[in-house]
Amino acid sequence: MDGVIPLNKEIGQTSSDYVYKLRKILHTRKIGHTGTLDPLVDGVLPICVGQATKLVNTLTGSPKEYAGEITIGRSTTTEDREGETVEEKKLSKPFANEELEQTFEQMTGDLKQIPPMFSAVRVNGKKLYEYARAGIEVERPVRQIHIYSFSMTSEPSFDETTGYQTIKFHVKCSKGTYVRTLAVEFGKLLGYPAFMSQLTRVKSAGFPIEETFTLGQIEEMMEKDDYHFLKSIDEVLKEVPSLELNDEQWDVRVSHGGFLEEKDVDSDKTKQLRVQRDGVTKALYKYDKVRNMWIPDLMLLNNK
């Protein structure tokens, strides 16, 4: 059983919970997820099975898309709705759409971000949330992220009683982005405390949420020996340029992890190359400028 499951994660469960449950359902231990989703976040969680577990790092590094909600007027310890209030500053009137849109635009492109204390980032061998629960604040590493797009998706709402304004958004971002922190930074640019009040991952590893399966659906399909929930490695990598290998390239070179000559490959040298044998993806190659050759980046399937 080799492939990727586009799973629809529910609120309240951890990514590791699903790996544990799927090992039992699929009767295999070779399973890994492609990027942790917080318990309060639902949506697309690609799960790699069998030989596809070799793709975990590749898929984890791909851009992701989220739909969520920012609440302005209050900040929390965890930067989401679960935390305790840190600061409250009521709005006397809502921000105009034009000012909100300008703020979204201001937060696109290359940005630097400091991970929240309540996160799984490790500092000196311990996870940040372990320090946070002990009431210890530590210096956190600054990371470079990229925001491809960040925009408002509907008319904002304003509660005159609480003085809070809520804005629904869509964001496409790079690996390592904390959307909770984006919400806090959004508020800071407007001069107000803010937190992320809702978040759903709507696309990951090329899978939109419309193509996902719930754990219950997967259990039912397994009982019927229906494996349509499992997407093949070829399907997952269909956007990666491919090369069908001839006998010499496969038997003499690729099957032994060898190089491919520049003259034999007509492909974009800035991108990975998916090498296939009889239409089946066997490995991912990358171009080496020093050697002027295509070299193995990831061997995927057994060399049969």
pLDDT digits (tens, 9 = 90+) for 117-152: 676 678 777 777 777 777 787 777 888 999 999 999
Active site residue 38: yes
Is the pLDDT confidence value at 116 over 80?
no
Exposed e or buried b per residue across 169-180, where buried means at least 16 C-beta atoms within 10 angstroms of its C-beta: bbbbbbeebbbb
Residue 208, CA distances (Å) to 126, 169, 251 in order: 34, 17, 37
**Mean pLDDT, the chain, integer:** 91
From the list 279, 283, 280, 278, the residue with the least C-alpha distance to 294 is 283
Of 38, 80, 226, 278, the catalytic one is: 38
Cα distances (Å, whole numbers) of residue 204 to 6, 47, 90, 174, 236: 9, 11, 36, 11, 11
Distance, in Å, from the CA atom of 46 to the CA atom of 49, rounded to the nearest integer, reads 10
- Using alpha carbons, list the distances in angstroms from residue 16 to 52, 64, 105, 122, 172: 17, 19, 35, 17, 24
Residue 304: band (very low, low, confident or very high) from pLDDT cuts 50, 70, 90: very low
pTM (2 d.p.): 0.89
Instruction: Using CA atoms of 285, 291, 293, 296 in order, give the dihedral in degrees to the nearest 10.
Output: -20
3-state secondary structure of 255: helix
Strands 64-72 and 207-208: unpaired
What percent of the chain clears pLDDT 90, i.e. is strictly above it?
68
